[in-house]
Amino acid sequence: MTIGLLGNKIGMTQIFDELGNIIPVTILKVGPCVVTQVKTKTNDGYDSIQIGYGNVSTKILTQPQLGHLEKSNIQPLKYLKEFKTTEQDEFKIGQVLNVESFVPGQLVNVKGKNIGKGFSGLQKRHHFTRGPMTHGSKNHRAPGSIGMGTTPGRVLPGKKMAGQLGNKITTVKKLKIIQINSKENVLIIKGSVPGKPGNLLSIIPSK
């Protein structure tokens, strides 16, 4: 299977392998996900599979969202996500996907929103060095000059300055699956993944 699944981060812990080595792992609650739409190049212009995750009350969703799911006789789902694939013929609307789609030892990419750290300065956000702390200097953590003179007479886009740190979509690649619990829909992955416990994640097979 080439498409990914949606899940939530439960937390981190450590386990021991057969040789007694400690392995830092993240526990993920993955799926079950439902195929809500199969898009084809003929009808939609591209090939992809849309999946849904997280059962919710009908009061949570808008009328267009409910109509989209009711069209395929699917229960209300909180999250919808598309995955491009050329194997759309293998999927059917209403099909349930779970952790059995993965195998131990497989490498996956985990995508999600990382932890937001609020408004941060240059030293924390971009690892700038500070100014002198003594001899009358008043430039300790200030940004200093940010632009050029009359030409071009403006600050160029992309200038590294203070601002929002974190709270962005990021991907951690090639994480190894250590264990799979099909009964509880739990995936144990070596290493860390973005966000706090409870964060929504996309788990995609690594190419």
CATH number at residue 63: 3.30.160.810
By CB atoms closer than 10 A (0-12, 13-18, 19+), residue 65 is middle
Domain count, the chain: 2
106/177 same-domain check: yes
Q: What is the pLDDT of residue 148?
A: 85
166 located within any domain: no
Asked whether residue 159 is assigned to any structural domain, the reply reads no
Looking at residue 1, what is its pLDDT?
A: 52
For the beta carbon of residue 106, count every other beta carbon within 10 angstroms: 14
Same domain? 4 vs 102: yes
Q: Choose one of 47, 65, 94: the last residue of a domain.
A: 94
**Are 108 and 186 within one domain?**
yes
List pLDDT tens digits, range 69-99: 988 888 899 999 999 988 877 888 988 999 9
pLDDT for res 207: 80
Same domain, 84 and 111: no
107 and 189 housed in the same domain: yes
74 found inside a domain: yes
Domain containing 41 equals 33-94
Among 65, 94, 123, the domain boundary falls at: 94
Q: Are residues 40 and 88 located together in one domain of the fold?
A: yes
Residue 147 pLDDT: 83
Q: Which residues of the chain have pLDDT under 70?
A: 1-2
Per-residue confidence (pLDDT) for residue 13, from 0 to 100: 96
Q: What is the CATH number of the domain that holds 199?
A: 2.40.30.10
Does residue 202 fall inside a structural domain? yes
Does 164 reside within a domain?
Answer: no
